[in-house]
Amino acid sequence: MRSSLLIRKAVIPEDYLDILQLWETAGSGIQLSNSDSIDEITKKQFRDPELFLVAESNNRIVGAVLGGFDGRRGIVYHLAVREEYRDRGLGEELMVELERIWKNLGCIRSYLLITSENHEARQFYEKRNWKKQDLLVMAKDL
């Protein structure tokens, strides 16, 4: 992309507030919950530190992707890019790097969830060969 752009591993707790602010302003596509608290993100970071990436420009976090890998399947939890940095290939760069890391870990399939009204995200992922699956998603808070 640009030489002033750096993609690196997120550092938690240092990057947490900047990432949270990014997620909070990314639009309705990112639905935050208790699992996005500092304590929960710290647990996630401890488990998969290489799968939480940020894009930094001029020492400011302008994009982030939070992925996971359970040893069998990968998952994208959140992908966000600051509005003024969208449509420049930054989301693509973050996803390419996440997928590269998954492949190195032996991951052969990954998943993500998109709210049905988030047409922009659906188009973004469909352009990158993600396919819609007719699944019923169920959840339970413990």
Q: Is 109 contained in some domain?
A: yes
pLDDT score recorded for residue 3: 52
Averaged pLDDT for residues 27-36: 90
Burial of 131 from C-beta contacts in 10 A (0-12 / 13-18 / 19+) = exposed
**Residue the block writes with tokens 């790097």:** 97
Q: Is 41 contained in some domain?
A: yes
% of the chain beyond a pLDDT of 90:
81
Strand 110-112 to strand 74-81: parallel, antiparallel, or no bridges (unpaired)? parallel
Q: Is 55 contained in some domain?
A: yes
Domain at 51, CATH number? 3.40.630.30
Beta-carbon count within 10 A of 88 CB: 15
Q: Is 111 contained in some domain?
A: yes
Q: Domain range spanning residue 78?
A: 5-126
Q: Is 116 contained in some domain?
A: yes
